[in-house]
Structure 1
């Protein structure tokens, strides 16, 4: 299923992105499926690597999903607006502060997508983080030449989204796979459960993703298994995750985390891949 168009790739930097793990994920993702589901799509590294002809993608981050839709429907308008941004500190903070004003609600979908892509490319360490009020709160990155307008990638992603049957949602992860059938396949990449009390980074949305959500996701995986549906899940190697999925196949993967708000928490860590199907099923 992996396709050759290398320009179809993530258009945002994303903490927890899966680009580095793609070789390991490819080995485990079935070659045949009716529909590809990804309820925590994030930057879309796996989606854009597989480039399935039929997919349902979802993310709880409404601003991110708005960007996907604008890239699909209004890519040239988005590119034109991105070219108006300035890599300048005062301008950055002025743009960042828009979601703290009443005028933010009046911004067009193109303006909102342009703003979030600009902030993502110029903020500190490529973080996407919001506070309890849902406001973007990452400081200026001070990069000399950030690639704010990657026209080739934006047009390639737009082409993929338009030339295939890709449904884009922004709802709860359970709702996103509500109508999944046995022939389909789902890849779960939720916000990882923290390895320690000080390492939590779940603020992609104002509501975060807590232990109760992790348990709810596991229950969903149990229901999928009972229905004969295949799933692959990524998460941290936290004790909670190992305990929750002890009845499934768990594999440890080395991963390097380059994006973190704390420098001493970047570096190589152990992650896990959990699945409910056998390796010899991968071609079927």
Structure 2
């Protein structure tokens, strides 16, 4: 199967892991992704329907607008990719314009521009919700016209919703397949959780996600696959899952010598026969 690249640059994107991920995902009628990110898994799987969600409203607005009116969006976006706009002063002016704008269409155009012109494809907000990624200083940022067109075509099979992962799990039904790519747990005690929204993603949320995955696999007969760093913490919280590990090259650093391979963990919760036991009903109530 030919692999398709996302139109967004994305730190932690799953393009290079897609073969391993596909091997763990069963067939089904619906694939649900509570952390859609750049959408590499969506773009490289073949399910009849998709439910793609994220807490990042800018991401979901962009995807929905591209689905609804791809020709207009692509035509408008390409004008932001020029010699004049590939300049630090212009970048910071447009970044401020993005942070001040309340118009979803304008923000979506600028989100694509910032993603392709900002440092290493980072998506980062400060505690006030302001996008704060610095200028990337690329010689000629690539305008992903063909990638945008492919995404828009495949998006006809998808529903995009801005909501939390908990709200997404509420919609999981028997036979559904769920792939979760949450902000990763830090490799060291001093590292920070990825803050792709102003709220971040802490250890309690990592644990809660694991609990929900185990719950829906037993109570609702859904399959859940989660990816994360392989560290003692993640092995502990995913202890009820089938675990697979592999090496992944990190590319977040500008310096090549710092692009080292790290351990990646895939935690699979296979669909189990549905149970109406009191224990699971009580646990379900606790987690909501």
Q: TM-score range by the shorter chain?
A: 0.7 to 0.9
TM-score by length of 2: 0.87
Higher relative contact order (CA 8 A, sep 6+): 1
Residues 124 and 141 of structure 1 are in contact (CA less than 8 Å); yes or no, is this contact kept in structure 2?
yes
Question: Which residue among 23, 27, 31 is the counterpart of 2:23?
Answer: 27
1:151-190, CA deviations, whole angstroms, 9 ceiling, x for partnerless residues? 222122111112x2x1111101021131222211101111
1:126-148, CA deviations, whole angstroms, 9 ceiling, x for partnerless residues? 1111111111111111111111x
Structure 2: any 5+ residue segments left out of the alignment?
Answer: 272-288
SS of alignment partner, residue 205 of structure 2: helix
Q: CA deviation at 1:68?
A: 0.5
| Map of 1:93 onto structure 2 | 92
| Map of 1:66 onto structure 2 | 61
| Map of 2:282 onto structure 1 | none
1:73-119, CA deviations, whole angstroms, 9 ceiling, x for partnerless residues? 12222222223321111110001112443xx12x3x22111101101
Question: Which residue among 149, 154, 157 is the counterpart of 2:151?
Answer: 157
Equivalent-residue separation in structure 2 for 1:262 and 1:202 (angstroms):
20
SS of alignment partner, residue 50 of structure 1: coil
- Asked whether 1:274 is paired with 2:267, we answer yes
Q: Any runs of at least 4 consecutive aligned residues in structure 1 with deviations exceeding 4 A, and if so which? A: 260-265
SS of alignment partner, residue 134 of structure 1: coil
| Length, aligned pairs only | 266
TM-score by length of 1: 0.88
Distance change in 2, residues 1:206/1:186 (3 Å)? same
Question: Which stretch shifts more, 76-85 or 166-175?
Answer: 76-85
- RMSD, aligned CA: 1.9
Structure 1: any 5+ residue segments left out of the alignment?
Answer: 279-284
Distance change in 2, residues 1:66/1:265 (3 Å)? farther
- Asked whether 1:139 is paired with 2:137, we answer no
